[in-house]
């Protein structure tokens, strides 16, 4: 049988798992919130970013990755993240939380400003190694997600789909949403050919993501 396109990421090997554990067990600190491109920190280290539509669970996932409950402020209010938030991972990594895209409970002018900043960042940050695009496992890829995927294609930024809230659906629903996501990703040349399935509440996929970030050159 032919392998599935965009398989689930394999469990990390012992070296990668330990590298991830050590990275996230070390210093992880909020550095700054950026509202304009001239406020970005020096591009002197590898960085990864997390993108996702409003209320997809970005803050919860970042908190789960770092083991710190309030590092990224979680909220049930869509659009709470209004800046590009930079976090330091030790001395050699940046982790970046991007503004939520799509629907947000904010004035239209504010939302437009976020989107412009997002596009400028993705198109102009040479040290960005990968964008993790969060997709709600209950809903799959929506039209608003397609907008960011197309932007990443145009920006030549490799992105990897990360399904969030996997504990909220059944095994049967999981297979259906994975099929839908695989179909959507197949249209995007910048898509990394593996999917990470996560649950911030249950810890599923957290070690895998940590290992991916820690071993990224």
Q: Give domain limits for the chain.
A: 30-214
In contact, 78 and 103? CB cutoff 8 Å: yes
For the chain, 217 residues long, give each residue's pLDDT as a single digit of tens. Answer: 456 689 999 999 999 999 999 999 999 999 998 888 999 999 999 999 999 988 898 989 999 999 987 787 644 444 455 788 899 999 999 999 988 776 556 677 777 777 788 888 988 899 999 999 999 999 999 998 998 899 899 999 999 999 999 999 999 999 999 999 999 999 999 999 999 999 999 999 999 999 999 999 7
The Cβ of residue 22 has, within 10 Å, a number of other Cβ atoms equal to 12
The one-character DSSP state at 166 is: G
pTM exceeding 0.95: no
Classified by CATH at the fold level, domain 30-214 comes out as Rossmann fold (3.40.50)
Give the H or E element holding residue 102: none
In contact, 136 and 86? CB cutoff 8 Å: no
Question: What proportion of the chain, given as a percentage, has pLDDT over 70?
Answer: 91
Give the H or E element holding residue 158: none
């Amino acid at each position: 049988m032919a392998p599935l396109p965009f398989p689930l990421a394999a469990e990390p090997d012992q070296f990668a798992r330990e590298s991830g554990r050590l990275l996230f067990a070390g210093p992880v600190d909020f550095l700054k919130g950026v509202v304009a491109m001239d406020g970005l920190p020096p591009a002197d280290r590898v960085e990864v970013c997390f993108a996702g539509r409003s209320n997809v669970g970005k803050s919860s996932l970042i908190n789960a990755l770092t083991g710190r409950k309030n590092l990224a402020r979680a909220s049930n209010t869509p659009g709470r993240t209004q800046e590009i938030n930079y976090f330091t991972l030790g001395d050699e990594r940046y982790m970046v939380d991007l503004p939520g895209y799509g629907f947000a409970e904010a004035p239209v002018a504010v939302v437009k400003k976020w989107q412009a900043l997002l596009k400028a960042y993705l198109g102009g940050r040479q040290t960005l190694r990968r964008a993790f695009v969060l997709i709600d496992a209950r809903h799959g890829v929506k039209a608003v997600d397609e907008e960011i995927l197309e932007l990443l294609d145009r920006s030549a930024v490799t992105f990897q789909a990360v399904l969030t809230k996997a504990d909220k659906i059944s095994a049967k629903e999981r297979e259906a949403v994975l099929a839908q996501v695989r179909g959507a990703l197949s249209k995007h040349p910048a898509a990394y050919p593996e999917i990470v399935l996560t649950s911030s509440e249950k810890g599923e996929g957290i070690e895998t993501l940590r290992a991916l970030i820690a071993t990224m050159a």
